[in-house]
Amino acid sequence: MKQQSKGISQARSRSSGTEARHATGDDRSRSSQAAKTLLQQWAEAVEGYFGQLPARYPAAPPRLVEAVQYSLMAGGKRLRPALVLECWHACQRANSIHDRAPTHSPAGINPGATPKGAPLAAAAAMELIHTFSLVHDDLPAMDDDDLRRGRPTNHKVFGEAMAILAGDAMVTMAFELICTDAEPALAATLVRELASATGPAGMIGGQVLDIDEVKRPENLEELQTLHRMKTGALLTASCRMGAVAASATPHQLASLDRYGRHLGLAFQIVDDLLDQTATPEQMGKATGKDAAKGKMTYPMLLGLEEARRQAGQQLASALNSLDGFGVEADGLRAMAHFVVERNV
């Protein structure tokens, strides 16, 4: 664990704000590596929290707890909780006089940064919502997927009824955990952010647009509307929740909101590119399904080259949004690079 923290500290200091903003090829790959280390650290924090969930529900049927844990602990990039925690961390450091003054580890994780309480619950709640959406999305009535993160999907293991109920349970757990772990006024704000990003005008609304076989998106604007809801809303809410948990200033909240929006679009363009170019083994799930289903994707609409160019443009805009932050946002800069340069 100590080793891990040291790794992060080095990872953070390898990529300074200026470097990330005017990145060369080498800088980009270092930045991406730094992001992977950060993702791993935050993933460990969130997985530690998930590990303690069964003890918080002693009265729940064991098979339900098992089904929930099966999907929660299946790995994955943990990008959303990492965004919550990295935004929280950046705002916390930006607003702490002690941290802004030059110290021996200007870009390292300070010892007080171990998340607990509101930010950790917010991060875990976000991953619960994301995981619920995957479990329901994989159902036979929806995308009918057999494989997720390299393992059989939830309903393949526990049956369809249990997968529906396990997904439902994850949603309620997300909101309950926030209200149990955060102080009430903050909890209400976090619940509103998360519920609004998940609901009819957010992720679920986006999924409804996505399964509509009659009215497919036909141009860039319609495709972006779909993805702003389906994947963008949760990614943006991750950033907002982290900021809110750190009592960010309105300006910081607006900056991270903008960062989240651009990151969300970049994420989806790259997702579409990977769906077209990556192998199922690489992705841990079936690929090429969008095209097979006649779904519109960015590369289909724009071509591979232009799609890649637009992903880069969204990355640049995401980085620009962080201009008001100093080194404390280097982690977020690295994560933006990672989102565009990843191959999973």
Interface contacts to a copy of itself, rule CB under 8 A: 57-61, 63-65, 68, 132, 136, 139-142, 159-162, 164-165, 167-169, 171-173, 175-176, 178-180, 182, 184-185, 187-189, 191-192, 195-196, 198-202, 204-205, 207-209, 211-212, 229
- Nearest-approach distance from CB 57 to a copy of itself, in angstroms: 5
3-state secondary structure 228-247: HHHHHHHHHHHHHHHHHHCC
Query: CB-wise, 179 or 274, nearer to a copy of itself?
Result: 179
**What does the block give as tokens for 307?**
């799609």
- Nearest-approach distance from CB 334 to a copy of itself, in angstroms: 31
**Rounded to whole angstroms, how far apart are CA atoms 306 and 83?**
27
Q: Are 270 and 330 in contact (CB under 8 A)?
A: no
- Nearest-approach distance from CB 56 to a copy of itself, in angstroms: 9
- Nearest-approach distance from CB 337 to a copy of itself, in angstroms: 31
- Nearest-approach distance from CB 213 to a copy of itself, in angstroms: 10
Length of the chain: 344
Query: CB-wise, 171 or 322, nearer to a copy of itself?
Result: 171
The distance of Cα 126 from the centroid of its chain, to the nearest Å, equals 8
Query: CB-wise, 233 or 307, nearer to a copy of itself?
Result: 233
Query: CB-wise, 1 or 185, nearer to a copy of itself?
Result: 185
The distance of Cα 262 from the centroid of its chain, to the nearest Å, equals 13
**Rounded to whole angstroms, how far apart are CA atoms 211 and 150?**
24
Does residue 76 sit in helix, strand or coil? coil
Query: CB-wise, 1 or 161, nearer to a copy of itself?
Result: 161
